[in-house]
Amino acid sequence: MNRSNLKYRPIKIFFVIGLLVFGLGSCDLIRMKRGKGDQDGTRSLIARVHDAYLYADELKGIVPEKTTKQDSATRINAYVNSWVRKQLLIQEALKTISIDEAEVERKVMDYRYSLISYEFLNYYIQQHLNDSVNDSTIATYYKKHLDNFILKQNIIRGTYIKVPKDAPRTKRIKELMFSTKEKDLTELKSYCLSFSAAYHLADSSWIEFDRLTVNSPLAEIPNKIQFLRAYNYYETNDPSYLYFLKVDAYKITDNVSPLEFVKQDIKNIILNKRKVELAKKLEDQVYENAAKQKDFEVFEK
């Protein structure tokens, strides 16, 4: 056996086994059904791969209610085609490599139990989760975990506008950007909606500098930290567009993120912690209730 074969075969075997372990848990899509399983001949046969059979009654639930006939046919055809392909792959694997079917079956059962318990836990969490997180809770978490919120990018608060070179009244853009008058801010927003190719107007939110200036000459600035320290206003252009940037505030990498920038992240963290606690509570309750009712026994070996 040459060296190329030595490299290839373990990869092939791992790939096939992976499909068997994880794919077999997907409903009946690639379930290995030996024998016709239709002793009285009343089942409608849809497809066959060697001695594995797919019947019409096994397609129940594949197509949601009120689906059009065309969409139904498309879904069924896709399902059947996938079933055939995966059955062929499974049976080719069984001819090519040695598989411990008992071990595969155990993993299939583990996967099935995981899916069922996940669905139940998800249902329980949806019914009991308090998804209200007030600002005080967020601020407290932020202060206790400042080291977890170190910036990995430069962020700014400000205004960014990109307009075609042939846009009207471009000389007025800077004036409107620096104005604090409500009517001027309204005019600037209206102008951006009408003529800009991209824009971000000043508000209380922070945004990554690189994300804001993507596809612009500003993205090519070699030292962005030095640039932010040096300019609170900057204009530039390329062959097609004019670019206007006004920086009201900035934070550079390796500093603590402003609370406003990570507020939603903190809320998600708190909610995820609540979900974990609810899942643990449910598992404990089910176990304790079953123990009281003597619904299970563990026998000594």
For residues 44 and 110, membership in a common domain is answered with yes
Amino acid of residue 165: K
Q: State in Å, rounded, how far the first CA of the chain is from the last one.
A: 46
Q: Which residue has the higher pLDDT, 236 or 11?
A: 236
Mean pLDDT of all residues in 102-128:
93
Mean pLDDT of all residues in 220-228:
95
For residues 7 and 124, membership in a common domain is answered with yes
257 part of a folded domain: no
Domain span holding position 245 = 151-251
298 part of a folded domain: no
Q: What is the pTM of this model?
A: 0.66
Mean pLDDT of all residues in 104-110:
91
Strands (E), the chain: 45-49, 52-55, 155-164, 198-200, 207-208, 233-237, 241-251
The CA distance from 48 to 84, in Å, is: 8
What residue has token string 């563990």? 298
87 part of a folded domain: yes
* Confidence check: pLDDT of 26 > 80: no
301 part of a folded domain: no
pLDDT, residue 7, reads 32
Q: How many CA atoms lie within 13 A of 284 on its CB side?
A: 6
Taking every pair of Cα atoms in the chain, the longest distance, rounded to a whole number of angstroms, is 86
Summary mean pLDDT of the chain:
86
pLDDT tens digits, residue range 166-222? 999 999 999 999 999 999 999 999 999 999 999 999 888 999 999 999 999 999 999
Q: Do the beta carbons of residue 151 and residue 257 sit within 8 Å?
A: yes
For residues 161 and 239, membership in a common domain is answered with yes
Please state the φ and ψ torsions of residue 293, each to the nearest 5 degrees.
Answer: -85, 0
Q: Do the beta carbons of residue 53 and residue 36 sit within 8 Å?
A: yes
Could you give the number of structural domains in the chain? 3
